[in-house]
Structure 1
Amino acid sequence: MVLLLGACPEYGCLVYEYMDCGSLEDRLFRKVKTPPISWQKRFDIAAEIATALLFLHQSKPEPLVHGDLKPANILLDRNYKSKISDVGLARLVPPAVADTVAQFHMTSAAGTFCYIDPEYQQTGKLTTKSDVYSFGIMLLQIITVQRAMGLSHHVRTAIEKGTFEEMLDPAVPDWPVEEALAFAKLALMRAELRKKDRPDLGTVVLPELNRLRDFGSNLESSSGNSYSPGPSSTVVSRGPSSPSVGYGSCSPVLSPRQV
């Protein structure tokens, strides 16, 4: 979680710890022309977010639901380690009658369109599975770098037609297609329209994301190309020159966040 350091009520500002590399959204869409993030680091980031999200959902005595999970709310430090921001806006979910279905009724849907759980939009009932849906959409963006609108449909269609590889971010030259496909299928399960069809974060999603992260780490170790803080790693591109970065220099544009 991004550490909240203080607040300035006079100007409506919150002061957070400095995250050198800005938001995941900025890095994925390369808004300040930074190198693309390597697929290994993307798998790392996905597992890190899942771990942090599980921590929120297992909070005691009541789980916390973030309610607005999206790439813009994931911040990266100088080593591309990810942290969830805007956690202060998360909702406490009162204990439900059934322990397995914690939910909280909201008078109006809050969050960002395209990432909002469809059931939450219809019923106003916010649950931990609402975050699961948002995370599923975000996982698809991590590997495709496409806008969220209709993304789950586009990826599912590409898988059915056997054209999934064309959906992967072309800025990354060396995608392991089989593992990326497993990643995408897991994301699609999380983005199911009905919350009862979405897999459990702790027992299904996180173990698989950890497996994929370990795959990337083991591949790096066996090839002697492990990441370490410093200059970006460069690999051979499928097309025009496109260096891929694990850890690297950042030039984020800072702007105050109003509350």
Structure 2
Amino acid sequence: MQVEVLSCMRHPNMVLLLGACPEYGCLVYEYMANGSLDDCLFRRGKSPALPWQLRFRIAAEIATGLNFLHQAKPKPLVHRDLKPGNILLDRNFVSKISDVGLARLVPPTVADTVTQYRMTSTAGTFCYIDPEYQQTGMLGIKSDVYSLGIMLLQIITAKPPMGLTHQVGRSIEDGTFHEILDPAIEDWPLEHAMHFAKLALQCAEMRKKDRPDLGKVLLPELNKLRDFAEENLPMMMMFGAGFAPRNNNTYSNSAFSSSTFQVSIIFSKQQPYFFSLY
């Protein structure tokens, strides 16, 4: 499933599949020099903290890539395992969604109307799984929105996902929101960070119907926050990570109906990423 899906997709916020080795159950992705978002948020390898400007941009990029999946033709694609460990960062810290091994194509009539589809077994990573999906097996594009909400909260707090919605919500109510933000960043724009957090909490609502529409509501708001971050580029220049301009081109996502696929091995001068199919 993962090879078939990835071999058909091209988007700047989706990881590029270079090849596959069925004998050993491995996929070969393009080289992503800065590892995963999880590595960067938790500063593994003593990496410097990501500036808030870069975090706002990464959030908008993830939402853009996810919206691309949800608009796939002929059927919307639900990722089902969205988390910081599955967001890879290239040398310019441009974020790309990876690991669609658990993804499912949802019938368009289902995605566009009731936005849910019954699955026989729950898949994903515990703290990021939509509660309604866990309880009922009903999968839809807003299941990914829940996962995105948890991840957005992690982007600004650099905290583990367990109980994070409660912690952030309580901090807003108690007027201690500034204390829950990642302390490694000293210049948080509190008003914009608060707006970011409230968007994330809306995404992580327990009921699907209470979560915002990704393309119509959430993405425009995250793009506004990204624009605000772009107006504060001097901090980014000090960090050494550039802002890539938003690309409004159209990318191919219309080949999912193919029952067969062909993978070409492309040799890269840089070390690729390897992922196991099993």
For the aligned pair, the TM-score class normalised by the smaller chain equals 0.7 to 0.9
Partner of 2:84: 71
**Deviation of 1:45 (Å):** 0.2
**In the alignment, which residue of structure 1 is the partner of 2:276?**
258
Trace 1:152-167 onto structure 2 (pairs within 5 A): 152-167=165-180
Residue 89 of structure 1: SS of its match in structure 2? coil
Secondary structure of 2:32's aligned partner: coil
1:185 aligns with 2:198: yes
Query: 2:56–2:222: 8 Å Cα contact kept in structure 1?
Result: yes
Alpha-carbon RMSD across the aligned residues, in angstroms, is: 1.9
TM norm structure 2: 0.81
Q: Give the one of 94, 108, 112 matched to 2:125.
A: 112
Cα pair 1:199 1:205 within 8 Å, conserved: yes
Cα shift readout 1:145-197 (whole Å, capped 9, x = no counterpart): 00000000000001000000000000011100110000000000000000000
**Deviation digits for residues 22-69 of structure 1, max 9, x if unmatched?**
000000000111100000000000000111111110111210000000
Give the whole-Å Cα distance in 2 for the aligned partners of 1:45 and 1:98.
26
Structure 1 CA distance for aligned equivalents of residues 197 and 85 of structure 2: 20
Does residue 1:176 correspond to 2:189, yes or no?
A: yes
Distance in 1 of aligned mates of 2:175 and 2:192? 15
Q: Which residue of 7, 11, 20 maps to 2:33?
A: 20
Which sections of structure 1, spanning at least 5 residues, go unmatched? 234-244, 248-252
Match in the other structure for 2:143: 130
Deviations 1:117-153 (Å, cap 9, x if unpaired)?
Answer: 0000011111000000000000000000000000000
1:179-226 superposed Cα distances (whole Å, 9 cap, x missing partner): 000000000000000000001111110111111111111133xxxx16
Separation in structure 1 between the aligned mates of residue 80 and residue 152 of structure 2, nearest angstrom: 16
Structure 2 residue matching 1:36: 3-state secondary structure:
coil
Match of 2:104 in 1: 91
- Specify the SS of the correspondent of 2:139: strand
Task: Tell me what 1:240 maps to.
Answer: none
**Aligned position for 1:59:** 72
Distance 2:272 2:180 in 1: 31
Letter in 2 for 1:157: R
Letter in 1 for 2:163: G
Q: Distance in 1 between matches of 2:231 and 2:108?
A: 41
Q: Which residues in structure 2 correspond to 1:186-205 (within 5 Å)?
A: 186-205=199-218
Conserved 8 A contact 1:37-1:246: no
TM-score (norm 1): 0.87
SS in 2 for 1:257: strand
Amino acid at match of 1:116: I
- Checking the alignment, whether the CA contact within 8 Å between 1:139 and 1:184 is kept in structure 2 is yes
Question: Structure 1 counterpart of 2:197, which letter?
Answer: A
**Do the aligned partners of 1:23 and 1:75 also contact (CA within 8 Å) in 2?**
yes
Distance change >3 Å, CA 254–CA 122, structure 1 → 2: same
Measure, in 1, the Cα distance between the counterparts of 2:21 and 2:152: 34
What percentage of aligned pairs have identical amino acids? 69
1:128 maps to a residue whose letter is: I
CA distance in 2, matches of 1:186, 1:167: 16
Deviation per residue, 1:209-257 (Å, 9 max, x gap): 111111111133xxxx1645xxx52xxxxxxxxxxx645xxxxx99743
- Greater relative contact order (Cα 8 A, min sep 6): structure 1 or 2? 2
CA–CA separation in structure 2 for the residues paired with 1:95 and 1:132: 17
Determine the C-alpha separation between the residues in 1 that align with 2:273 and 2:96. 18
Query: 1:89 Cα deviation (Å)?
Result: 3.5
Shift of 1:94: 1.3
Once residues 65 and 128 of structure 2 are traced to their aligned partners in structure 1, the CA distance between those partners, rounded to angstroms, is 18
One-letter amino acid of the counterpart of residue 162, structure 2 = M
- Name the residue aligned to 1:236: none
Distance in 1 between residues matched to 2:160 and 2:214, nearest whole Å: 24
